Structure 1
Amino acid sequence: MMDIKNFSFQDIKQKLRVQKPWDDVIIFILNILIAVPVFIIAHQNLIELNWDFNLDRILLFILLITVIQLILRLLRTIIIICIIIYILLLFYGTVFGNYGFNSVYEDYDSMIYTMSDNPYPQDIIISKLLPFPNKSKILTSIEYKNPKVRNFAIMATSKNFKDVKGYSEYRTIIQCFAVFKEINNRWNYVNDPKDGDYIATASESLDYFSGDCDDHSILMAAAVRAIGGTPRLIHTKGHIYPEILIGSMNDLETVNYLIKNVLFVNESGNKQLHYHIDERDQVWLNLDYTAHYPGGPFLSEEILGALTLN
């Protein structure tokens, strides 16, 4: 009886095993797909030895390739099962709106993009690989459809920059800057309780315009989205701040002029705009509570995660 079971198991393994040379091709492709993100994580978290020609990083990549190759070869007989499970999970994620095929494409497209000449490559790499803290609770708190939030945003657009003429293509961005000005002029920073994070909803923060960085980011994102803007939240070490989608580099030139010569003349002066470029070459402008104008200096440079509100 034992021999029959063993024979059946071995027979199933042989049937599921990819025939040569395709097994080696699949293993090689999987090795690259796994090794690239693993190397990026290791590169960002391990101390650089500053060897000539970056030999420490070259050796690290070779080591990772070798180790992953050995592991995949050990799993050679069940590698087709792993691929089937992987595809089924992606199919499930695609159908139910979680992590699906499109997400995989965007992640690897982002990593390929960061290897090119990008002014902020670390932003894209890290934001794609690390989870965003309190994601579900923050998303729930961004009540951009709440009438209280919507009415506040409308009030801000009526109070600030209402008389700016022209620039019809940038009307939404100008109105979002009006929201930025209203919130940042009134914001009072207050710490969370010592025993844990307190995440206020956008409508709650409108009562006193007070809270910490995540409360400010939630309110800013909600109010910006309530009038048609596209915000995202950036997570750094110990800090969260909002950004707004500007568009292309050509759009940035126009927005730069508006900020410095029309909307925030006194606040911006001859200062520089601070922004990030994502994997689609889109420009995102800083809207932190520490900034006195859109695109003000970043409080923290190292990005650990990004949460975009589509």
Structure 2
Amino acid sequence: MTQKETTTFQQFKEKLRIKKPWDSIIILVLNILITIPVFIILHQNLIDPEWAFNLDRIFIVVVLIVVIQLVLQLLKTVIIICIFLYLIALVYGSFFGEYGFKAVFEDYQAMIYTMSANPNPQDIIISKLLPFPNKSEIIDAVEYNNPRVRNFALSATTKYFKDVKGYREQRKMIQCFAVFKEIRDRWNYVNDPKGREYIAYASESLQHFSGDCDDHAILMSACIRAIGGTPRIIHTGGHLYPEMLVGNKADLEIAIYLIKEVLFVNESRGKEIHYHIDERGQIWLNLDYTATYPGGPFMSEEILGALTLN
């Protein structure tokens, strides 16, 4: 590099230099944003020695802050330049694109909440896949194209969560949660006729919102699919229950935050979110009538069959 190029680079670097103490403040804020998720990961995976006053965790936090601060200080110039460019991109996204400051805040908030509130997610536990009982009858009964089913699902989306602001990309998920709430609040469990497996059509169950687990799973699946969601019905031997496709891990983080902090705050307080991960890595959220919120506890965990309705 020639003397002229070196001088030009130094001048460019000097123009991007942030005056004190703002450079240190930026680094400190960035340190905190990095330390929080790293500490959560360590806290959940390290054995708790049960020190008095949680001194071990306090020690971990102090060490993390010091180490991350040193690393950030060493790379300060590069990091600040990257942050500057990142802020420009977010400003543009806030006004002209779909991903801006609000979206970043929501993603970070959901990530932190998910990591701290749900350290032991329910993984898939399919041990054996058997022929799905009454498969053809159930498929016929999921009348997602029936006008009555479609109109009922639409009415649920206007009754619940219509005024939730933001989360445009999660609109379909929120509307499916509205359908879950409407059916869950109105459902009355009634056994089948003695000695017979009675499979009610979705439109039939809309008359009295009554039936057994099969009927509930069929109605929930039909309504979820009627508004664009992807449901599936799980067979566990003596029980059927519906699940809805959430998506990937990032989608799950948003779903958990919405359930626990926005839509089902009281019902889900202090409780975990239950879901399954299929062989393709897709995440399915429990919508059983036995749960008071999406992702409530499983009534039966062993999966014998799964019928996807898409």
Quote the offset at 1:270 in angstroms: 1.8
Q: Secondary structure at the match of 1:241?
A: strand
Aligned partner of residue 143 in structure 1, secondary structure: coil
In the other structure, the counterpart of 1:233 is 233
Alignment pair present for 1:286 and 2:286? yes
1:189 corresponds to: 189
Taking the aligned partners of 2:194 and 2:178, their CA distance within structure 1 comes to: 34
CA contact (8 A) 1:286 1:298 kept: yes
Distance 1:305 1:280 in 2: 16
Q: How many pairs does the alignment contain?
A: 190
Counterpart Cα distance in 2 of 1:218 and 1:289: 12
Contact 2:288–2:298 (Cα < 8 Å) also in 1: yes
Displacement of 1:119? 6.4
CA RMSD after TM alignment: 1.2
Give the SS at the match of 1:216.
helix
Deviating runs (4+, > 4 A) in structure 1?
none
Per-residue displacement from partner, 1:25-62 (whole Å, max 9, x unpaired)? xxxxxxxxxxxxxxxxxxxxxxxxxxxxxxxxxxxxxx
Q: Does 1:138 align with 2:141?
A: no
TM-score by length of 2: 0.60
Task: Please state how far the C-alpha of 1:121 moved relative to its aligned partner.
Answer: 5.0
- Confirm whether residue 264 of structure 1 aligns to residue 264 of structure 2: yes
1:89-108 alignment runs, 5 A limit: none
Distance 1:170 1:280 in 2: 21
Q: Is 1:305 matched with 2:305?
A: yes
Structure 1: tracts of 5 or more residues without a match = 1-117
Q: Deviations over 1:158-200 (max 9, x none)?
A: 0000000111111001000000000000000000011210000
Partners of 1:205 and 1:262 in 2: CA distance: 29
**Quick one: percent identity of the two aligned structures?**
71
SS of residue in 2 equivalent to 1:243: strand
Q: Residues of 2 paired with 1:137 and 1:267: CA distance? A: 34
- Check whether the contact 1:246–1:284 (CA below 8 A) recurs between aligned residues: yes
Q: Offset of 1:237 from its aligned partner?
A: 2.1
Please list, as runs of the form range in 1=range in 2, the aligned pairs for 1:34-73 lying within 5 A after superposition: none
Deviations 1:238-273 (A, max 9, x none): 000000000001111111000000000010012100
Question: One-letter code of the match for 2:164?
Answer: V
Counterpart CA distance in 2 for 1:255 and 1:141 is 28
- In 2, the alpha carbon distance for the partners of 1:168 and 1:277 equals 25
Q: Which amino acid in the other structure matches residue 296 of structure 1?
A: G
TM-score (norm 1): 0.60
Q: Which residue of 1 aligns with 2:296?
A: 296
Q: Is the 8 A contact 2:142 2:222 kept in 1?
A: yes
1:250 corresponds to? 250
Aligned equivalents of 1:121 and 1:296: distance in 2? 15
Q: Secondary structure at the match of 1:284?
A: strand
Measure, in 1, the Cα distance between the counterparts of 2:262 and 2:203: 30
* 1:106-165 Cα distance to aligned partner (Å, 9 max, x none): xxxxxxxxxxxx964532x52xx3110000000000000000000000000000000001
